Amino acid sequence: MTDRDARPAPDPAAAALLAGDPVLVAPRLLGAVLHGRGVSVRLTEVEAYRGAEDPGSHAFRGPTPRTAPMFLGPGHVYAYFTYGMHTCVNVVGGEEGAAAAILLRAGEVVAGEELARERRAGARGPQAIPFRDLARGPARLAQALGVLLGDSGSVLGAPDGLALELPTALASPQPASIRQGPRVGVSGPGGGAAFPWRFWIADDPTVSPYRAAVTRAR
């Protein structure tokens, strides 16, 4: 038995949806629902990353222990720690070895609101958080869903893990309401207008505010 045979298989429907160019797949995830440990979030904002073809991707220079889950193929989860304090979550697309990924940037909590509030409470208390902010931004979204760094490398549909519910025709946003623009906070060759790979639902209050990357002086 090979290591590949020993790995659990992701949910077939989710893997089939994700198996393609992430720039084309990403907008199809808008309106999909991600379920995670008692909380469900309808996705309203995502970003695409193309692996070795994309200077903004964590996997641009090839696999590392951190980025290895990005190479496992469609239907896997890639989670990473940022700023030493926040976890962010991606779903892996493309094909095995391609390291294509889609960052889940924001969404609307559609089930498990009280649990999401408890996870996000901090020092302010659960009721102090405006509803739109429960999963508004990639770190908040991961926290609301209970995503841990240890979830990186898991499969969509695993017990006690994340599950992706594909959007129905009624739940999918109309094409005219989907917007596209530069990714948030990506600097250098992978940033700016040359990579308009962020997609969001227009006028949705849960979409995070755009912030251009800040070039730091050395």
CATH number assigned to the domain comprising residue 116: 3.10.300.10
pLDDT score for 1? 40
Q: Tens of pLDDT along 89-119? A: 999 999 999 999 999 999 999 999 999 999 9
User: Kindly report the CA angle at 154 between 64 and 210, in degrees rounded to 5?
Assistant: 75
Note whether residue 210 is domain-resident.
no
Residue 206 belongs to some domain of the structure:
no
Number of domains comprising the chain: 1
Of 88, 110, 84, nearest in space to 32 by CA: 110
Percentage of the chain beyond pLDDT 70 is 91
> What domain range is 105 assigned to?
3-201
**The predicted structure's pLDDT at residue 155:** 97
In a domain, 95, yes or no: yes
pLDDT at 169 over 50: yes
**What is the pLDDT, as a whole number, of residue 213?**
65
| Torsions phi, psi for 179 (to 5 deg) | -110, 160
Q: Which residues contact 209 (CB under 8 A, 6 or more apart)?
A: none
- Judge whether 212 lies within some domain: no
3-state helix, strand, coil in the chain (%, to 5): 30, 25, 50
What percentage of the chain exceeds 90 in pLDDT? 75
Q: Does the residue 111 lie in any domain?
A: yes
- Tell me the C-alpha to C-alpha distance, in Å, between residue 168 and each of 21, 30, 33, 108, 172: 21, 11, 10, 16, 6
Is residue 166, in this structure, part of any structural domain at all? yes
- In tens, the pLDDT along 57-79 reads 999 999 999 999 999 999 999 99
Higher pLDDT pick, 216 / 70:
70
Residue 5 reports pLDDT greater than 70: no
pLDDT: which is higher, 211 or 175 = 175
Domain contains 209: no
For the residues 18-34, what does the mean pLDDT come to? 96
Q: Please report, as a single letter, which amino acid is at residue 42.
A: R
Within its chain, how far is the Cα of 99 from the centroid?
A: 14
pLDDT in tens, 116-162: 999 998 756 667 899 999 999 999 999 999 999 999 999 999 998 99
